[in-house]
Amino acid sequence: MSLRLYDTASREIRDFEPLEPGKASIYICGLTTQGEPHIGHVRFAVAFDILRRWMVRGHGLDVTLVRNVTDIDDKILRKSAENDRPWWAWSYLHEQATSEALRTLGVLDPTYEPRATGHITEMVELIETLIERGHAYPATDGSGDVYFDVRSYTDYGSLTRQKIDDMEAAADADPRGKRDPRDFALWKGVKPEEPSTASWPTPYGRGRPGWHLECSAMARKYVGDSFDIHGGGVDLRFPHHENEQAQSRAAGLGFAQFWLHNAWVTLSGEKMSKSLGNTLTVAALTETVAPLVLRFYLGSVHYRSTVEYGEDSLAEAGAAVDRITGFITRAQEALQGEVASTTPALNDRADAVDLPDSFVAALDDDLNVSEALAVIFGLVREGNRLLESGASDQATLLHTLEQVIGMTQVLGVNPLDPQWSSADAGSGAADVLAALVDQRLNARAAARVERDFAAADAIRDELTALGVEIEDTPAGARWSLAAR
């Protein structure tokens, strides 16, 4: 069975054949570090994290994933000036916040995470190549700008299937020095109002890189002249990805063989963005929503489909996580005599267990996570029926449990992953909470033994009011935090 992915360039689902057998190379556009990351920003990272995990688990590929950091651009310079901070300090502050947000959501660290400012040499070399090949030119107005000549490259517009004459003028530099208003900046000459530290010397004058140039240079360095997949948000298709492809291929590079684009997170039907003022940061949301629930929510919709934010949606995601977690917990209790039912052993075995054919088929079909989740919940229902029937077939129960854990691990939502216990721990707060709740449950159990049901009910009501849900089982009371 082969992995099939929707290629934005060809607008069709194609069989994925890596350039190098046994390996896969992915470059995804990371964030511009101008502010706190919101869930609209990080959706791309969750989507490509699932792709990466499936390539490794489902197809045994050695994946190199590069996620860049745009640490210098117009927005960063403007925001840092507004907040009276050095641009590099402002950028690094939000780079750290972004990394923390992605780790909170269980996104695996990239193989490499290069910064734009660390690759000026590679960018200048690429500019020189484009000038030599007749695809770029320095501005004649003395500004220090260098532009890509869009009309010199006959395939310009092929990614987004646009004609040059139908395109709007490129707004990334003053048009005075351009041959065509649509020519875009490879290099932006220094401006008097900008800090001197935000420029580097080149044969064309001091300045800083254009947004598009940096990704071409970094992709070439870390995944080669040709690589398998370039990804990012659908809003980057034009002009960013169109310009990346043009300048790289005009320089004689093969560049990306596949283009994958994820859709937006929307709020009331509008793209979530800082300009609309409808942002919800990861840090703020995870104060009231478990990181595992937020991760499930962002990854539960097909990557090419829009995710509409709403508190009801988060509640549904919480209920779904609870169904999975509840089955895993009950199955582990029923298998207490099995050494293989311990959490570390289960995680190890789940990494090797054969996954259901229907789950494999779903993810091989352009990462159809909706169908994949349907398989998970179908198996959870089967496992719960085994538990309710009191069946003694522990081997079947154990295998079902291993498959559920294995599938959730692929999607990055395995409740037994230590990632989530550490994310929820928060300086030992979880341990303190557990001790306090257990103390009240012990008091409730003692009241029930004494047949003081009024006192027992009062304790239950007290915990419920605090957002603690209680489930009475043959093994005793079990508790969880209610979804908010």
Question: Which residue, chain included where needed, has tokens 């034009």?
Answer: 238
Question: In this structure, what are the phi and psi dihedrals at residue 380, rounded to the nearest 5 degrees?
Answer: -60, -40
* Rounded Cα–Cα distance for residues 371 and 147 (Å): 46
- H helices of 300-356, in order, are 311-334, 343-350
* Rounded Cα–Cα distance for residues 127 and 187 (Å): 8
Cβ(220)–Cβ(248) below 8 Å: yes
Cβ(286)–Cβ(253) below 8 Å: no
Question: In this structure, what are the phi and psi dihedrals at residue 5, rounded to the nearest 5 degrees?
Answer: -130, 150
67 Cβ neighbours under 8 A, 6+ residues apart: 28, 29, 30, 45, 110, 112, 113
Determine the average pLDDT of the residues in 192-220.
95
Percentage of the chain with pLDDT > 70?
Answer: 93
Confidence of residue 278 (pLDDT cuts 50, 70, 90): low
pLDDT given for residue 279 in this prediction: 65
Q: What is the separation of C-alpha 431 from the centre of its chain, rounded to a whole number of angstroms?
A: 29
Tell me if residue 5 falls in helix, strand or coil: strand
Determine the average pLDDT of the residues in 213-230.
98
Burial label for 180, CB within 10 Å (0-12, 13-18, 19+), is: middle
- Equal CATH topology for 17-276 and 311-424: no
Confidence of residue 206 (pLDDT cuts 50, 70, 90): very high
Cβ(156)–Cβ(242) below 8 Å: yes
- CATH number for the domain whose boundaries are 17-276: 3.40.50.620
Cβ(116)–Cβ(71) below 8 Å: yes
Determine the average pLDDT of the residues in 393-412.
95
Instruction: Indicate whether 468 pLDDT > 60.
Output: yes
CA distances to 132, 169, 278, 293 from 272, in Å: 42, 25, 6, 19
CATH class of 311-424: mainly alpha
Beta carbons within 10 angstroms of residue 473's beta carbon: 10
End-to-end CA distance of the chain: 40
Q: Rounded to the nearest 10 degrees, what angle do helices 394-411 and 311-334 cross at?
A: 150
Instruction: Indicate whether 438 pLDDT > 50.
Output: yes
pLDDT given for residue 428 in this prediction: 46
Question: Which residue, chain included where needed, has tokens 């990346």?
Answer: 244
Q: Rounded to the nearest 10 degrees, what angle do helices 291-299 and 311-334 cross at?
A: 110
Segment holding 294, helix H or strand E: helix 291-299
User: What does the mean pLDDT of the chain come to?
Assistant: 91
Confidence of residue 151 (pLDDT cuts 50, 70, 90): very high
Instruction: Indicate whether 480 pLDDT > 80.
Output: no
Cβ(46)–Cβ(279) below 8 Å: no
Instruction: Indicate whether 386 pLDDT > 80.
Output: yes
Per-residue burial over 371-395, b if 16 or more Cβ lie within 10 Å, else e, is ebbebbeebbebbbebbeeeeeebe
Higher-confidence position of 394 and 133: 133
- pTM equals 0.87
Q: What is the separation of C-alpha 46 from the centre of its chain, rounded to a whole number of angstroms?
A: 2
* DSSP single-letter state for residue 203: T
Determine the average pLDDT of the residues in 4-31.
97
Most confident region among 302-306, 432-436, 476-480 by mean pLDDT: 302-306
pLDDT given for residue 434 in this prediction: 64
Confidence of residue 119 (pLDDT cuts 50, 70, 90): very high
pLDDT given for residue 67 in this prediction: 98
pLDDT given for residue 426 in this prediction: 44
pLDDT given for residue 356 in this prediction: 98
* DSSP single-letter state for residue 241: I
Determine the average pLDDT of the residues in 344-360.
94
pLDDT digits (tens, 9 = 90+) for 56-78: 999 999 999 999 999 999 999 99
Confidence of residue 217 (pLDDT cuts 50, 70, 90): very high
Beta carbons within 10 angstroms of residue 417's beta carbon: 18
Instruction: Indicate whether 466 pLDDT > 50.
Output: yes
Instruction: Indicate whether 359 pLDDT > 60.
Output: yes
Ordered by start, the domain boundaries in the chain are 17-276, 311-424, 428-481
Residue 146's closest CA among 177, 112, 100?
A: 177
pLDDT given for residue 417 in this prediction: 95
Instruction: Indicate whether 173 pLDDT > 90.
Output: no
pLDDT given for residue 276 in this prediction: 54
